[in-house]
Amino acid sequence: MVTIGTLGSHSALNILSGAKDEGFETVLLCEKSRKFYERFRVADEIMYLDSLSEIKREDIQEKLNERDVILVPHGSYISYLDLDFLEDEFSVPIFGNKFLFRFESDRELERKWFLKAGMRIPRTFTPETIDRRVIVKYHGAKGGKGYFTVDTPEEYFEKEVEGDVQIQEWIHGVTMYFHYFYSPLQKELELTSIDRRYETTADAVHTFPDREPTYVVVGNFPLVIRESLLEQVFDIGDKVVDASRNLHEKGLIGPFCLETIVTDAPEIVVFEISARIVAGTNFYVPYSPYTYAKYFEPMSAGRRIAREIKMASKEERIKDVVS
């Protein structure tokens, strides 16, 4: 039988507890400094590494393949593993479509994806053309680290920016992060949950009124959206799934997240995508209002992944849900 594994970070507890719910054996690949996972009961085996990048070693890949492991990716895969290696050399099956990770890591590729989908997205600027409030973002899954806002070219150049960034129009509204699951087996899109991020010091700016806010994500809040807006939520989800098939033949598989701002129109403006599970799903163990309304049983994001793997295994369609 398949074993479900992941890296010890981000949403590992969610992923592995869901796998246990569906009866799978589990393995966790973890840095030696993170002994706290031993305090939980989600991993049947913990493989300690000096660093997460050691997963590239051939002997570790061979061991995982011998155990018929499917790895479930999360944000740490994007942050710490080389995408070229993951796409071309990594031999362990990854749940979902690893060939779309590049599109969430490169904001220009991401923008092209959104334009193909025909969704409302923020305008982008060069430093010289800034004529309104903008937010400056680095590429990749960095949890908001290094983001800042400016209003003019002069303010931007004062920051002495290093590295590649994208300069996005600041949209006035509230952030909502929609967690979806697309099943290639059932050809169906599901809404699993919604969150917003808890960011330092943007969420504590009232205590530091003279300090420029920062946007490092340290936690998440649960949300529900007005039911009258759910049609928009499913519409943007359907559009991004359809457009993903133009980027890679398999398109999106399994969990993904659209990061949005909801304006007072109300209109949903999409500014980022995560093409895998996000940490905002973690507090919806064992279920959210949306998964309960669909399944009427406990169904976390981690369990929904494991359920898809179980169905694929029974139908001999594992190749349809991994890359």
Using one digit for the tens of pLDDT, what is the confidence trace for 204-236? 655 555 677 778 888 999 999 999 999 999 999
Return the closest-CA partner of residue 64 out of 12, 26, 14. Answer: 26
Query: What is the mean predicted confidence (pLDDT) over 73-86?
Result: 86
Confidence (pLDDT) at 18? 98
In the chain, % of residues over pLDDT 90 = 82
3-95 fold: Rossmann fold (3.40.50)
Alpha-carbon distances, residue 15 vs 91, 126, 179 (angstroms): 21, 39, 14
- 31 and 5 in contact (C-beta within 8 Å)? no
Q: Tally Cβ neighbours within 10 Å of residue 282.
A: 22
The whole-number pLDDT of residue 78 equals 76
Domain-wise residue ranges, the chain: 3-95, 124-169
pLDDT at 175: 95
DSSP character at residue 66: H
Full DSSP string of 305-321: HHHHHHHHHHTT-GGGT
Is a pLDDT exceeding 70 seen at residue 144?
no
The single-letter code of the amino acid at 191 is L
Q: What are 243-287's pLDDT values in tens digits?
A: 999 999 999 999 999 999 999 999 999 999 999 999 999 999 999
Q: Which pLDDT band, with edges at 50, 70 and 90, does 139 fall under?
A: confident
Fold match between domain 3-95 and domain 124-169:
no
User: Tokens 């133009």 sit at which residue?
Assistant: 246
Q: 124-169 domain in CATH 3.30.1490?
A: yes
Which of helix, strand or coil describes residue 65?
helix
